[in-house]
Amino acid sequence: MALPVLKNKAARAIFLDRHLLSAAPTGISKGAELLNLITQLGFVQVDSIRTVERAHHMVLRARKASYRPKHLTPLLEKEHSLFEHWPHDASIIPTEFFPHWKLRFERDAETLRRQWRSWRREGFEEKVDQLLERIDEEGPKSSACVGEGEKRGSGGWWDWHPSKTALEYLWRTGELTVFRRESFKKFYDVTEKVLDKALITPEPDQQESVDWLCNAALDRLGFANSTEIADFWDIVTKAEAKEWCANVGLLEIEVECVDGSLRRAFARDGIMEETPPKPTSRLRILSPFDPALRDRKRAERLFGFHYRIEIFVPEAKREYGYYVFPMLEGDKLVGRIDMKALRAQDILNVTGLWWEQGVRATPARLDKLRGELDRMARFAGVSTVIIDPKLGL
């Protein structure tokens, strides 16, 4: 029996709606409304590069144009209704999800001990208990505050001193949490002293967490195969996700890719009758780490948009640029733009623009882009947009 086919246009609309990119980016962008936005997304990836603004701020701003970085700080550092941890990359996550992160803590505890014995300097395991006791007694510490007298290497991720490794281990296994950041440097404190005990006390068993994580992933993706469900949080195994998909009564469908090919996926009953809102025609500049683009292959299948970040590509070999931003208009990824906020000069400097094949630089589209660049300049805290004349803007 043939499976129902979700057409590409409908699939894109559902996917963008689940990722909160269908509606115009209006409304309140702080407090409970901001926490609700992050909860609906599930997590927001944190990245230190600040070409215009850091990735997590760009993600939130794409969905709420009035958002400013200062709006996030109370949720992270005062209310602690968000915590920082690791799905597939360092991210901010609603604290109400913390009980299900205990499965990650448990699994990471042995894995990291085994891996880091080989990858890091010797001696970190002997530092774990004494470092936890010290932070409990003295309060929050950064990696720069610990490891007195220990031999220090380059300071890179590949050459941590033993106390820094122990500090990261305690964070990755849930004993410590990020209490605050100063100039993006993490300060850690004992988790039970920071996060609401009522939120972090529940102890779900393994199957409860697997069920919750798989359900939450599918709800945020709309449709997915078992590997994509496992990869969403990167906590449950592919085997666990495959078993879950086989046993919870999901609808199996075929999703039409942009090239007309079909790809099997699971979805909730009713998805074929779903009528998601038509995506806004507003043009928005997205972070390279936007949740809708995190799975590059899925973005390519659904939207025909091939994107690879070129930070680690030698300049002479880059196709586009160091840190190029995708552009979304309606239900299409229409191009990419290279820009940087030069705060000392009070300008947003636009140096590259590439439209996707078949996308015309019409006067209306260029007006939309100029409007978005003006908004982006205000977001970055600069007053003027400077555009390379060769770009035709």
Q: In 3D, which of 226, 218, 211 has the Cα closest to residue 103?
A: 211
Q: Over the stretch 119-174, which tens digit does the pLDDT of each residue have?
A: 666 777 888 899 999 999 999 998 888 866 555 555 555 557 788 888 999 999 99
Choose the CATH number for 285-391 among 3.40.630, 1.10.10, 3.30.1240, 1.25.10.
3.40.630
Mean pLDDT confidence for 39-57: 96
Residue 119 has a pLDDT of 66
Q: In 3D, which of 211, 190, 181, 178 has the Cα closest to residue 99?
A: 211
- The residue extents of the domains of the chain are 5-94+203-273, 120-195, 285-391
Per-residue exposure over 285-299, b if at least 16 CB sit within 10 Å of its own CB, e if not = bbbbbbbbbbbeebb
Residue 344 has a pLDDT of 97
Task: Grade residue 393 by pLDDT with cuts at 50, 70 and 90.
Answer: confident
Choose the CATH number for 120-195 among 3.30.70, 1.10.10, 2.60.40, 3.40.1400.
1.10.10
Which is higher by pLDDT, 269 or 153? 269
Helices (H) and strands (E) in the chain, counts: 14, 14
Residue 159 has a pLDDT of 55
pTM of the model: 0.94
Q: Over the stretch 285-305, which tens digit does the pLDDT of each residue have?
A: 999 999 999 999 999 999 999
Name residue, tokens 């901001």.
34
